Structure 1
Amino acid sequence: MSEENVLLIDQEFQPLTEEEGQNLKPIIKQFMGSYIKYKDTMELEKWLALELRNNLDRLSEDESKKISKEIIDSLKTDEVSRKSLKKAVKQGRSKESWFASQVKNATSRMGTKQTVNYLQELDKSISASNQRLYDTILTKSNTISQNPNLDGFIAEQYHAQTFNINAKASGSQYRAEVLEPNGHGYSKNSVDIVIKDTKGKIVRKYQSKYCKDVKSTQRAFEHGDYRGQRKLVADGQEELIKNASN
């Protein structure tokens, strides 16, 4: 897998509770102090492996080295992907065009059979994503839904399904899912979108707010208790709303 074809979620992440966050503070402080102390005398990978071994029980030297390398490689991949996409958009390319180039890069190193299988699986993912969007827009009687919140539901499905197509293209284990009420109605402050790993475990939660401008979106988040959820907003608004993603 090339560096450009790794999703950010593939930097292994588990959401923290407020209590876990507080407990993590002294560990972060310890790591920062250690890094400052050894940054000029020890290679980054060796330093991180040492700290991991000191802080994680029963971690062998080989395991700590492997984890250290994976963490550093994923951070480098993240930075490369961010710069690549940012540069492409700045040059006038669409995100879709950038994504297409990543697919081309991913298949360029495959044999014919691998390429065919890869594209077939990608096509299945696109078909499944389209079906989810159709199900959101249409009622059981095959008419356009008149739900006043339809625009929000479409936005949620769009985010989830484009994530899943990118995940399939990049070989990521993660999948996004829109949480639906199953006939019982949405509960107050309920989670809109989750990301799950291959075991079905939720690793991230998102609250989606799509309003006409930044101020309206910010007010929408202030009118609920969304602790433990990340903010998902319209493209461009994430730059002005704290801890938000587009």
Structure 2
Amino acid sequence: LLNCQATLAFYLGDFDQARGCYTAALEHAERAGNRADLAYALDGLGADAANRDDLAAARAFSEQSLAHALAIDDRWLAGLTLMNLGEIARTENDYVTAGRRYAESLAHLEIAGDPFFVAVAQINQAQVCLHEGNLAAAERYLRRSLDAGLRAESAQVVAPALEKLADVFARRDSTQAVRLFGCAEGLRHASGFAIQPVDQADHDKLHQELLGMLGTPDYHAAFTAGARQEWETIRALVEP
């Protein structure tokens, strides 16, 4: 229960609450000798440390979590922890390591059969492709992720997928890219899910690039049009 409370708080952006719950969960798991709960709490503490830019602690927590997860053959948790290790590497601009960790994460999660986190892992893979300039591969990953997110009406998946697609679309249709960017922001605002710190710099950079492409009046018109989209109209934004 403590791990569940911590995870919810983390995704809602209440990082202090999440840290407290993960710490309590870790202590409880150590007393009970529950290796699965121990691994999950360590994974959460790793994500929290990464958000605070304490990358050494983040890596240490995450490596411990991964060792426990692999020891008990928990593919799902191993996938999540590898995702965190990929985020740590990306924060350090080590995209080679990030790409490897993300690929391992996706492989474990596909075996575990978790469609939500598979979709998240596909967004991560797309991020590496964008960094490498492989826009076609990035778009393929993002469209798969978006399809899964739309089926579940998951703002946690759809918002980042749309924002990364906006980065792809910016090369060929800046107005449509701003609509996608606005739609992502609208979903975040409506759902209360915050941008993860590792993604904030890319978010701000894309905002400035799109604003520079269109100019303030056109940017705000396209952004507002995107932000007003409903679930049933989002897919049309990315149709050819």
TM-score where L is the length of structure 2: 0.27
Query: Hey, which of these two has a bigger chunk of helix by percent?
Result: 2
TM-score where L is the length of structure 1: 0.27
Query: Hey, which of these two has a bigger chunk of strand by percent?
Result: 1
Larger Rg: 1
